[in-house]
Amino acid sequence: MTLTTPEALDHAIHVDVAPDFRTEESAPDEQRFVFSYTVTVHNTSRHSVQLLARYWKITQGSGKVQEVRGKGVVGQQPMIGPGQTFRYTSRAILDGPVGVMEGAYTCVDTASQRPFEVAVAPFRLAGPNQVH
């Protein structure tokens, strides 16, 4: 029997993020820039994992930093089986046309009940006509 350490599991959970500027919901004249982001969590481990909590650090172009913590994602604490993915879409509202988000998910290996963190690499939020 092979035991998987939280560190090894962390490398078997991959996160992809696809941000999108929401023109129809934004109001640049009012410093309201709305972005959606679709997150796909891939479980390439041999164990089921459950996503329990999220942490986001949102850095706006103005330098303002906002931190968001909470249970699960979009009202769920999804169970992700071996070889499965979980996808959801959420949004962020900035006061300018550019920003950066990064964060982490707290997960648990359902076989061992050991919690572990999965880092979400920084990704850029950029409105139209912004340098990518």
Q: What is the pLDDT of residues 64-105, one digit of tens each?
A: 999 999 999 999 999 999 999 999 999 999 999 999 999 999
CATH 2.60.40.1470 fits 9-126, yes or no: yes
- What's the rounded mean pLDDT across residues 14-22? 96
Q: Give the pTM.
A: 0.88
Would you kindly state where each structural domain of the chain is located, as residue ranges?
9-126
Cβ contacts of 25 within 8 Å, gap of 6 or more: 34
- Is the per-residue pLDDT at 4 higher than 90? no
Beta-sheet pairing, 13-21 with 98-109: unpaired
Cβ contacts of 4 within 8 Å, gap of 6 or more: 12, 45, 46, 47, 109, 112
